[in-house]
Amino acid sequence: MSLHPYGIFIAVAFETGFKVFTLVHEQLSHLNDINLPRCGIVRYAHGGQFIISNENSNIFIFDSIYYDTLYTLKGHGHRVHDVALSNDDVTLVSTCQAGVVYVWTLADVKDINKTKGTMKDRSHHRGENPYTKILYDKQEDIFVGVGKKNCLTVLTKETSWKYFECRAS
C-alpha cells in the first residue's frame, strides 16, 4: 500500500494488480484498476508524479495521472520482492527472490525508448537469505537490505559494494 505524498490518493497492491482510491470527504472512492498478474508492490514516487509496481519479475512505472506505462524495467530472473526510490526520484533500487540487487538510473531508461532499463550497478546477495525489504539513500550512497533470517545487510559504494552482515540473536 502507498499513500500519495499529498495524501489524496491511496494505491493498494493485490495479487492481480493494484487499485487506486481517492480520499473525498473522509471516504474512499475507487479511481482506477491496473491489471498486473503476480503484483506485489506499489509505491508512489516521492514527488507523486509516478507509481512503481511489478508483474512477477518486471517492474513497471506508471504515470500517476493517466496511468500510462512510462517504463518497463526488465532484468530480474525471479519475482521482485521490493523496490526503493531515491529522494530525488531518479534512482530506483530493486531486489528479487534470488537476492539480486539492481540499481536503475531512470534518466538512462528514457534514452532507450522506455522499453528496458539499464543497470548502472549490480550487486549480488545470493543463497539462503534474499532481501525482503530494502532502503536506499542516494546522497549517502548506502543500501540496506533485510533478509528473512533476521539478517541486516549494509552495502556501500565506497567499499566497492561489499557488504557487512549482522544477525539478530
**What percent of the chain lies above the pLDDT cut of 90?**
40
Beta strand segments in the chain, E: 2-3, 9-14, 17-24, 27-35, 42-44, 50-55, 58-63, 69-73, 80-85, 91-96, 100-105, 119-124, 131-137, 142-147, 151-156, 163-167
Q: What is the pLDDT of residues 134-146, one digit of tens each?
A: 888 877 777 777 8
Q: Where are the domains of the chain?
A: 2-167
Q: Could you tell me the CA-to-CA distances from 63 to 20, 28, 34, 71, 72 in Å, in that order?
A: 12, 21, 12, 9, 12
What is the distance in angstroms between the CA of the first residue and the CA of the last residue of the chain? 30
Looking at the structure, give the CATH architecture of the domain made up of residues 2-167.
7 Propeller (2.130)
Q: Is pLDDT larger for residue 162 or for residue 59?
A: 59
Measured between alpha carbons, how far is residue 97 from residues 45, 55, 76 in Å?
A: 23, 13, 9
- pLDDT per residue as tens digits for the range 64-112: 999 999 988 988 889 999 999 988 898 888 888 887 788 888 865 544 3
The whole model's pTM is what? 0.80
Q: What is the pLDDT of residues 10-31, one digit of tens each?
A: 999 999 999 999 988 888 999 9
Confidence of residue 124 (pLDDT cuts 50, 70, 90): very low
Q: Exposed (0-12), middle (13-18) or buried (19+): which is 148, by Cβ within 10 Å?
A: exposed
Least confident window among 38-42, 137-141, 149-153:
149-153
The residue among 115, 114, 118, 123 whose CA lies nearest residue 104 is: 118
Give the pLDDT confidence score for residue 169 in this predicted structure.
Answer: 52
Q: What's the pLDDT score for residue 143?
A: 77
> To the nearest whole number, what is the mean pLDDT of the chain?
80
Residue 112: its pLDDT value, please?
Answer: 37
